Amino acid sequence: MKLIDSVVRSFRVAKLFRDNTERINHIDFSPSGDLLISSSDDDQIVIYDCEKGTSKRALNSKKYGVDHIHFTHAKNSAIYSSTKMDDTIRYLSLHDNKFIRYFPGHSKKVVTLSMSPIDDTFISGSQDKTLRLWDLRSPNCQGMMHVGGRPVAAFDPEGLIFAAGINSEQIKLYDLRSFDKGPFNTFQLNQEKECDWTGIKFSPDGKTILISTNGSLIRLIDAFQGTPLKTFAGHFNNKGIPLEASYSPDSQFIFSGSTDGRVHVWNADTGYKICVLMADHTGPVQCVQFNPKFMMLASACTNMAFWVPALDDA
C-alpha cells in the first residue's frame, strides 16, 4: 500500500497499551520493524511485538532511570541514557537484562543519543556542551567535540556524516571519518525566540533535516544548503515540553505529537496539514515514529498506541 493523503487520513488506533504509570520519554523501532522499545519516567523499558500487536516484555531500570533508548543493530540489545546516579550511557542485553558495557564521560544530563544506521558507532550529546562519539565494542570515547552549547545530533541515512544542532540557531555537519578536523559545513539559522531545539533528524532520503522543538513549531531545512524550506505549525504545545516529530519512510509526510493528546500530520512538500489523528491519549503525545518496514505508526504519552490504516476507508 502506498502512503498517500487518503491512506494517512484513514489511520486508526489498532492497539492501545497501558503498561506505564508515567510519561513515555522515548520510543524506537528495530531496523527490521518487527519490534518497538520504549523508555519511560517510571524507569520501565517495554518491548512490543509489532507483528503480533502484543506487549512482549517489561524490564526495569530503577537504580539508574532510563531515557533516549535505542535498539542497536542486534534487536536483543539496546543503549540508553541515565536519569539517576550519574550521566553514564548503558548498553543492555534485553535477553537476560544484564549490562554489556558502560560508557562514562558526560558530566551533565545526556540530551541526545543517535545510533549509526550502518555499524556500532553512536553519538551522544549532553548539557555539558559536548558531543561524544562511541563504539559499542569499547567503553572509551572515540572522539569528543566541544560545541559551545546544548546540542542535538543525528546520523544521516548512510551513516557517513552526522549533524549537530547547537543553541537552537546553528547546524554543523561533520564527516564521520574526519570529525576531528571540525565541521565541513555550518548552517546559520535565525535563533528561535520562543522555544529551543530538542531533536534533529535526517529524512530517510537524506535530502532534508527536521528540527523538533519544545514549542509549537517544527522546522524543515535543506540538508545540502541549509535553506529553510518549511515551518510546520498548528499543533499545540502549551507546556514547553519536547515533542518528537518524525518522517514517514518515504520522506513525504511529517508526524508530530501535541499536548492536546492528538497526532498532527503535514505534507512535507507543500507544508499543508493533512489531518489530525484522534487517539485515546490522556496526556501530551511526546513520542511519534513511523515503522521503517510496515504500514504502522506508534505514538505515546503514558499510553502506547499502534496505528494502522483502515483499509475500507483508504
Name residue 60's beta-bridge partners: 44
Please classify residue 86 by burial: count the beta carbons closer than 10 Å to its beta carbon, then call 0-12 exposed, 13-18 middle and 19+ buried. exposed
Would strands 98-103 and 89-93 be described as parallel, antiparallel, or unpaired? antiparallel
The architecture in CATH of the region 25-243 reads: 7 Propeller (2.130)
Q: What is the mean pLDDT of residues 2-14?
A: 93
User: For residue 190, is pLDDT > 50?
Assistant: yes
pLDDT at 191: 85
Q: What does pTM read for this prediction?
A: 0.94
User: For residue 230, is pLDDT > 80?
Assistant: yes
User: For residue 110, is pLDDT > 70?
Assistant: yes
Question: What are 88-105's pLDDT values in tens digits?
Answer: 999 999 999 999 999 999
Instruction: For the chain, give the percent of residues with pLDDT over 90.
Output: 86
Question: What are 124-163's pLDDT values in tens digits?
Answer: 999 999 999 999 999 999 999 998 888 999 999 999 999 9
pLDDT at 310: 85
* Order of strands, sheet of 304-309, starting from the edge strand that comes earlier in the sequence: 11-17, 304-309, 297-300, 287-290
Strands (E), 94-204: 98-103, 110-115, 121-126, 130-135, 138-146, 151-155, 161-166, 170-175, 185-188, 197-202
Q: What is the mean pLDDT of residues 155-174?
A: 95
User: For residue 192, is pLDDT > 90?
Assistant: no
Q: What is the mean pLDDT of residues 181-199?
A: 91
pLDDT at 312: 55
Annotate 13-47 with b (16+ C-beta within 10 A) or e (fewer). Answer: bebebebbeebbbbbbbbbebbbbbbbbbbbbbbb
pLDDT at 313: 45
Q: What is the mean pLDDT of residues 247-253?
A: 97
The C-alpha atoms of residue 145 and residue 182 are separated, in whole angstroms, by 8
Q: What DSSP designation does 190 have?
A: P
The C-alpha atoms of residue 288 and residue 19 are separated, in whole angstroms, by 17
pLDDT at 255: 98
pLDDT at 163: 96
Band the pLDDT of 188: cuts 50, 70, 90. very high
Cα Rg for the chain, rounded, in angstroms?
A: 18
266 membership: H or E segment, kind and range: strand 263-267
Amino acid present at 97: N
Name residue 133's beta-bridge partners: 123, 143
Q: Higher pLDDT residue, 128 or 1?
A: 128
Mean pLDDT of the chain: 93
pLDDT at 314: 38
* Order of strands, sheet of 170-175, starting from the edge strand that comes earlier in the sequence: 151-155, 161-166, 170-175, 185-188
Question: What are 13-63's pLDDT values in tens digits?
Answer: 999 999 899 999 999 999 999 999 999 999 999 999 999 999 999 999 999
